[in-house]
Structure 1
């Protein structure tokens, strides 16, 4: 009987096999069966060429079978369907992030801004628009948990009119017991602390790309650049972060990296450590990659590919290990594995658009996500002055996952990659159901090398925060 079963078995099509970065050993990962093992080069070779299947009596074969690396294809198909159903059920029951853009104007002239070509209308009175926005959500998301993220442009600009807009959004959220997050450059954050303290603030995302001139050159004040005058803002942004933390507000510090500033990331880590930010339980960090989304950038040579950035980050951490006290990079599923002692659930879809994310703006238009909001031609409908939804286009977004993307179906990386970003895929291929491939095997290889001897689990337990911290903020920069 055992011999017959062995003949029906084959290697799982979801095995991810990769040599560990700068080591002889290999790692084999299977997201469907939630297994990960470090193995010898000899066993890795047998898995790669399939010769392990001719050794059904060996201990290696038996262990690989027990863990699902070797399995009957029909059995695996059944498990895949069950895992997909679980994913859809949990996603549909999960929380939705709703973005509202009160305007696309900004006081910064960041040299990598993907909204640079958007129309920057002056901010107008928005009471009726905001009221219609909340009324629409009362129906559209009835019975679902959601929270509001105020996005831009820059939402925290000076002036009584802008404060009134933010106040109106807070009033609408408070009336529904909904939390608010903000994405801001931080320049006027201190001036808004009093108003923000009246809201249920989930977190405030602020971007610092480095210390001092490193940040200021990349993210100058628009007025200073246009007039040839002072454009520094680093110290004022830092003061805003300090004031927010002192007021008990959560800060999510984000850095957008490319070849210009990644070599000096350790300086920002040192600054945050000395400032006491990293010791504050209300402080966390994220790293984003500078890359092209909708518009071409002038300085192409400074942009990283996905794997290249993490290769250089790996080198920086080897030289400056204090970076890990500032930020522990995900390296695909590697950080999760070492923090939790297990793999995450299979990822059948990594694009949140119209499923766990919606975006709205002050013109009354509806979009799929932060990557598309404000871009002409990406509208999915209106909520003001009347409601009008393009159900066919919405359904196209809703249907996108690894099952709808033909290139994903036979890819062993699909359950760690999830098909990538729909907006990026559409921009590149003109097809929403094209893949936005992510080099997860290479990332896992580096992550295992980085974290297998690091005390990451202990640090994570000491700094464990609210489980709602895993947000989709500005996903377009997180690729």
Structure 2
């Protein structure tokens, strides 16, 4: 008998006598004494992560072993999965085999559809991963706008895609339809977007959302709100001066003023607005000024408004890795800023949703399984992205190249799959590489972003951790502390994309 390889130890900053144990795949949550946690750590076969607070003094080689827990406690630890008779290799096989079956089962749910009406964009942001499409003359043909005929082909294919996911056409759930680019809400795309919404509404209930720079959002005023495009992610990369240095038009002029006007418009029309600030070491210190801008504009007074910061990842050669932060670094900086500056309350902290979910599990004794992940994101099971050429992609960061599409749609609406690419994207699960399969956080992390893993390791099936272990344990400790104090955690909205 040994300690399971998937035990997560959460040290509690306000309680030095006890710890929270979480089992990575059984979903068990238990508060135990340090004596019990020490017993489990001493029986681990491999490396034990460092604590967030202090050190594991009871795990040092020179620390005298205490008596093991009594038989009843040992039996309880075995029942909850913390102790196992499986070898390290057998336990890993058990997890992988079950996770693969679970991943296939979860793919049999309603797909998510995203339209990319154009790869073109009216801004020239320095960190844009699509910049080559607009600077490389040989790729300018990609900047066309989707025509109505292509929209109709896509809608003809949608029921066929839904059938592949087991969706009953007589009981079709609300379709999730998103808009991404390029810049999807350019004024010249207005006819395309209106046609998509009209076609979608003619076929049933839908929810519409968009990731937009909002510079030409006023062209869509009548399409915004609960009955139209109801959720918008809009980027502000600093207070006006800093934003206008980073998010610029081709002639070098800034975009802040137009975005601010259109952000007011979106809220007035009843759309939910998520402001995202893309952060690196160069604009981190500007976040309090962004917070004051939000307060001065009065955006935070709307219940439909939220704001969050996300790190810029070194996913292209245009981004110098030394200028970037991890999400854990950003979280610690934001916590420090919030402690020093009350205005920073307008920002939702990174991992707020994760902490909220953990709090709900503890408070309401929920089954943790629905909160676990068989893969990092929907690119690996049910996301379909359509571009202006009726090509289909799995991930919006890997588009614009027919060699990497997962399929295409004929003029009659028939689907031709690109088998190798489809298999590559849809078989990447939380445990499809050995590093993740051995990780105690695997079902909470999902294996990390494939694009960022490939950028870092050169392998699509590599791992991208982004300090997830520290972030998860800090979130679990925060959730437990909130539970003890009776704190009602603010309901954090799910970001359109927080990568």
Q: TM-score, normalised by structure 2?
A: 0.79
Q: Which runs of 5+ in 1 are unaligned?
A: 1-8, 226-230
Tell me which of 5, 9, 13 is aligned to 1:17: 9
1:112 aligns with 2:127: yes
User: Which residue is 2:57 aligned to?
Assistant: none
Query: Which of these residues, 199, 203, 207, is aligned with residue 231 of structure 2?
Result: 203
| Counterpart for residue 45 of structure 1 | 38
* Aligned position for 1:320: 341
Report the 3-state secondary structure (helix = DSSP H, G, I; strand = E; otherwise coil) of the residue aligned with 2:221.
helix
Shift, 1:290, TM fit? 0.3
Deviates more, 1:47-56 or 1:341-350: 47-56
Following superposition, the deviation at residue 372 of structure 1 comes to 0.9
Partner of 2:406: 380
Using the alignment, how far apart are the partners of 2:324 and 2:75 within structure 1?
46
Structure 2 partner of 1:152: 181
Q: Using the alignment, how far apart are the partners of 2:481 and 2:340 within structure 1?
A: 16
Shift in Å, 1:164: 1.2
Superposed CA RMSD: 3.4
- 1:6 maps to none
Residue number in structure 2 paired with 1:433? 461
1:336 aligns with one of 333, 336, 357 = 357
Measured against aligned partners, the alpha-carbon deviations of 1:423-466 in whole angstroms (never above 9, x if no partner) come to 33334444432222343221124335655556895253xx58xx
Distance 1:80 1:393 in 2: 22
Instruction: Say whether the 8 Å CA contact 1:103–1:120 is kept in structure 2.
Output: no
User: Which among 79, 82, 101 is matched to residue 69 of structure 1?
Assistant: 82
> Does the residue aligned with 2:178 lie in a helix, a strand or coil?
strand
Whether 1:470 and 2:483 are equivalent positions in the alignment is no
Counting only pairs closer than 5 Å after superposition, residues 113-152 of structure 1 correspond to structure 2 as: 113-118=128-133, 119-121=139-141, 122-124=143-145, 126-142=147-163, 143=167, 145=173, 146-152=175-181
Distance 1:397 1:43, change over 3 A: same
Q: Does 1:55 align with 2:85?
A: no
- In structure 1, distance between residues paired with 2:7 and 2:161: 40
Point out where structure 2 has 5 or more consecutive residues left out of the alignment.
45-64, 134-138
Kindly tell me: are residues 423 and 239 of structure 1, through their superposed partners in 2, closer, same or farther at Cα, counting changes over 3 Å?
Answer: same
State the number of aligned residues.
451
After superposition, residues 445-456 of structure 1 pair within 5 angstroms as 445-448=473-476, 453=481
* Separation in 2, partners of 1:72, 1:323: 49
Following the alignment from structure 2 to structure 1, what is the Cα–Cα distance between the partners of residues 339 and 71?
Answer: 39
- Conserved in 1, the CA contact under 8 Å of 2:117 and 2:146? no
Deviation at 1:265, TM superposition (A): 1.9
Q: Distance in 2 between matches of 1:427 and 1:407?
A: 17
Task: Give the deviation of 1:238 after TM superposition.
Answer: 1.8
Which residue is 1:297 aligned to?
Answer: 318
Contact 2:306 2:346 in 1 (8 A): no
CA contact (8 A) 2:124 2:249 kept: yes
TM-score (norm 1): 0.82
Aligned partners of 2:339 and 2:280: how far apart in 1? 18
CA distance in 1, matches of 2:264, 2:355: 32
Which has the larger displacement, 147-156 or 296-305? 296-305
Deviations 1:137-159 (A, max 9, x none): 12222326432111111112234
Matched, 1:310 2:334: no
Q: Is the 8 A contact 1:101 1:153 kept in 2?
A: yes
Question: What CA distance in whole angstroms lies between the structure 1 residues aligned with 2:423 and 2:358?
Answer: 34
SS in 1 for 2:372: coil
Gap change, CA 1:183 and 1:372, over 3 Å in 2: same
